[in-house]
Amino acid sequence: MATFEIYTYSPEETMDLAERLGEKLLPGDVLTLEGDLGAGKTTFTKGLGRGLGVKRTINSPTFTMIKEYQGRLPFYHMDVYRLEESEEDLGFDEYFSGEGVTVVEWAHFIEEYLPTQRLDIVINSINESKRLFKLEASSSRYEEVCKEIIG
Protein backbone atom coordinates (compact mmCIF):
# COMPACT_ATOMS: atom_id res chain seq x y z
CA MET A 1 0.00 0.00 0.00
CA ALA A 2 1.38 3.41 -0.99
CA THR A 3 0.60 6.57 0.95
CA PHE A 4 0.65 10.12 -0.38
CA GLU A 5 0.37 13.34 1.59
CA ILE A 6 -0.65 16.81 0.51
CA TYR A 7 -1.74 20.00 2.28
CA THR A 8 -4.46 22.34 1.13
CA TYR A 9 -4.97 25.87 2.41
CA SER A 10 -8.55 26.68 1.36
CA PRO A 11 -11.80 24.91 0.41
CA GLU A 12 -11.12 25.90 -3.22
CA GLU A 13 -7.73 24.20 -3.14
CA THR A 14 -9.36 21.07 -1.70
CA MET A 15 -11.95 21.09 -4.47
CA ASP A 16 -9.22 21.54 -7.11
CA LEU A 17 -7.32 18.56 -5.73
CA ALA A 18 -10.47 16.45 -5.73
CA GLU A 19 -11.42 17.65 -9.21
CA ARG A 20 -8.08 16.43 -10.60
CA LEU A 21 -8.74 13.08 -8.94
CA GLY A 22 -12.32 12.95 -10.21
CA GLU A 23 -11.12 13.39 -13.80
CA LYS A 24 -9.12 10.16 -13.52
CA LEU A 25 -11.71 7.89 -11.91
CA LEU A 26 -13.09 4.80 -13.65
CA PRO A 27 -16.26 2.65 -13.34
CA GLY A 28 -16.26 0.67 -10.09
CA ASP A 29 -13.83 2.94 -8.27
CA VAL A 30 -14.42 3.26 -4.52
CA LEU A 31 -13.05 6.08 -2.36
CA THR A 32 -13.40 6.41 1.39
CA LEU A 33 -13.23 9.65 3.35
CA GLU A 34 -12.39 9.87 7.03
CA GLY A 35 -11.93 12.96 9.17
CA ASP A 36 -13.70 14.84 11.94
CA LEU A 37 -16.84 16.88 11.37
CA GLY A 38 -15.81 19.93 9.34
CA ALA A 39 -12.57 18.37 8.10
CA GLY A 40 -13.65 18.73 4.48
CA LYS A 41 -15.10 15.39 3.39
CA THR A 42 -18.13 16.92 1.70
CA THR A 43 -16.05 19.75 0.23
CA PHE A 44 -13.73 17.16 -1.28
CA THR A 45 -16.74 15.26 -2.64
CA LYS A 46 -18.01 18.42 -4.37
CA GLY A 47 -14.67 18.61 -6.18
CA LEU A 48 -14.86 14.95 -7.16
CA GLY A 49 -18.27 15.64 -8.68
CA ARG A 50 -16.80 18.49 -10.69
CA GLY A 51 -14.06 16.23 -11.99
CA LEU A 52 -16.68 13.65 -12.94
CA GLY A 53 -18.72 16.25 -14.80
CA VAL A 54 -21.66 16.32 -12.39
CA LYS A 55 -23.65 19.51 -13.02
CA ARG A 56 -26.05 19.29 -10.07
CA THR A 57 -25.04 20.77 -6.73
CA ILE A 58 -23.67 18.13 -4.37
CA ASN A 59 -24.84 18.49 -0.79
CA SER A 60 -24.27 16.36 2.27
CA PRO A 61 -26.49 13.25 2.11
CA THR A 62 -26.60 12.96 5.90
CA PHE A 63 -30.34 12.31 6.07
CA THR A 64 -30.62 10.13 3.01
CA MET A 65 -27.37 8.20 3.47
CA ILE A 66 -26.89 7.75 -0.29
CA LYS A 67 -27.29 10.30 -3.10
CA GLU A 68 -26.90 9.49 -6.77
CA TYR A 69 -25.61 11.88 -9.42
CA GLN A 70 -24.89 11.57 -13.12
CA GLY A 71 -21.74 12.90 -14.72
CA ARG A 72 -19.61 11.15 -17.31
CA LEU A 73 -20.21 8.20 -14.94
CA PRO A 74 -22.83 7.57 -12.25
CA PHE A 75 -21.58 9.05 -8.98
CA TYR A 76 -22.76 7.69 -5.61
CA HIS A 77 -22.17 9.85 -2.55
CA MET A 78 -22.66 8.06 0.77
CA ASP A 79 -22.48 9.46 4.28
CA VAL A 80 -22.91 6.52 6.63
CA TYR A 81 -22.39 8.47 9.86
CA ARG A 82 -25.91 7.70 11.07
CA LEU A 83 -25.38 3.96 10.66
CA GLU A 84 -22.74 4.04 13.40
CA GLU A 85 -22.38 0.55 14.80
CA SER A 86 -25.69 -0.79 13.48
CA GLU A 87 -23.85 -2.56 10.63
CA GLU A 88 -26.92 -2.47 8.46
CA ASP A 89 -26.33 -3.57 4.86
CA LEU A 90 -28.09 -1.16 2.52
CA GLY A 91 -27.09 -3.15 -0.55
CA PHE A 92 -23.68 -1.53 -0.68
CA ASP A 93 -22.27 -4.13 -3.03
CA GLU A 94 -24.65 -3.03 -5.79
CA TYR A 95 -22.94 0.36 -5.67
CA PHE A 96 -19.36 -0.79 -5.18
CA SER A 97 -19.44 -3.34 -7.99
CA GLY A 98 -21.49 -1.25 -10.39
CA GLU A 99 -20.57 1.03 -13.28
CA GLY A 100 -20.32 4.13 -11.18
CA VAL A 101 -17.87 5.76 -8.80
CA THR A 102 -18.65 5.60 -5.07
CA VAL A 103 -17.37 7.89 -2.34
CA VAL A 104 -18.13 7.04 1.30
CA GLU A 105 -17.88 9.54 4.16
CA TRP A 106 -17.26 7.90 7.58
CA ALA A 107 -16.52 4.63 5.76
CA HIS A 108 -15.21 2.80 8.86
CA PHE A 109 -18.84 2.36 9.98
CA ILE A 110 -19.33 -0.05 7.07
CA GLU A 111 -15.81 -1.50 7.09
CA GLU A 112 -16.99 -5.07 6.55
CA TYR A 113 -18.81 -4.17 3.32
CA LEU A 114 -15.99 -2.20 1.71
CA PRO A 115 -14.10 -3.74 -1.21
CA THR A 116 -10.39 -4.34 -0.56
CA GLN A 117 -9.33 -2.39 -3.63
CA ARG A 118 -10.03 1.24 -2.90
CA LEU A 119 -8.52 4.64 -2.28
CA ASP A 120 -8.69 5.64 1.39
CA ILE A 121 -8.46 9.34 2.14
CA VAL A 122 -7.94 10.69 5.66
CA ILE A 123 -8.28 14.43 6.31
CA ASN A 124 -6.70 16.14 9.30
CA SER A 125 -7.60 19.73 10.26
CA ILE A 126 -4.35 21.54 11.04
CA ASN A 127 -5.98 24.91 11.61
CA GLU A 128 -8.99 26.89 10.39
CA SER A 129 -8.02 26.66 6.72
CA LYS A 130 -5.12 24.19 6.51
CA ARG A 131 -5.84 20.51 5.93
CA LEU A 132 -3.56 17.49 5.61
CA PHE A 133 -4.76 14.86 3.14
CA LYS A 134 -3.39 11.33 3.39
CA LEU A 135 -4.24 9.14 0.41
CA GLU A 136 -3.71 5.42 0.86
CA ALA A 137 -3.75 3.48 -2.40
CA SER A 138 -4.50 -0.25 -2.13
CA SER A 139 -3.76 -1.05 -5.77
CA SER A 140 -1.16 -0.04 -8.32
CA ARG A 141 -3.73 1.84 -10.38
CA TYR A 142 -4.81 4.03 -7.47
CA GLU A 143 -1.14 4.56 -6.78
CA GLU A 144 -0.59 5.77 -10.36
CA VAL A 145 -3.59 8.08 -10.10
CA CYS A 146 -2.23 9.58 -6.87
CA LYS A 147 1.17 10.12 -8.48
CA GLU A 148 -0.47 11.89 -11.40
CA ILE A 149 -2.47 14.30 -9.26
CA ILE A 150 0.10 14.91 -6.50
CA GLY A 151 3.25 14.30 -8.47
- Of 26, 87, 129, 148, which lies in the binding site for ligand ADP, with binding defined by CB under 6 A? 129
Side chain identity, residue 18? A
Q: Any contact of residue 102 with Mg ion (CB under 5 A)?
A: no
Contact 141, 24 (CB under 8 A): no
Q: Any contact of residue 42 with Mg ion (CB under 5 A)?
A: yes
Closest by CA to 71, choosing from 121, 118, 13, 23, is: 23
As a whole number of angstroms, the distance between CA 59 and CA 56 comes to 9
Query: Of 83-122, which residues contact ligand ADP (CB under 6 A)?
Result: 105
Q: Any contact of residue 77 with Mg ion (CB under 5 A)?
A: no
Which of residues 49 and 143 has its CB atom nearest to Mg ion in the complex? 49
Q: Any contact of residue 124 with Mg ion (CB under 5 A)?
A: no
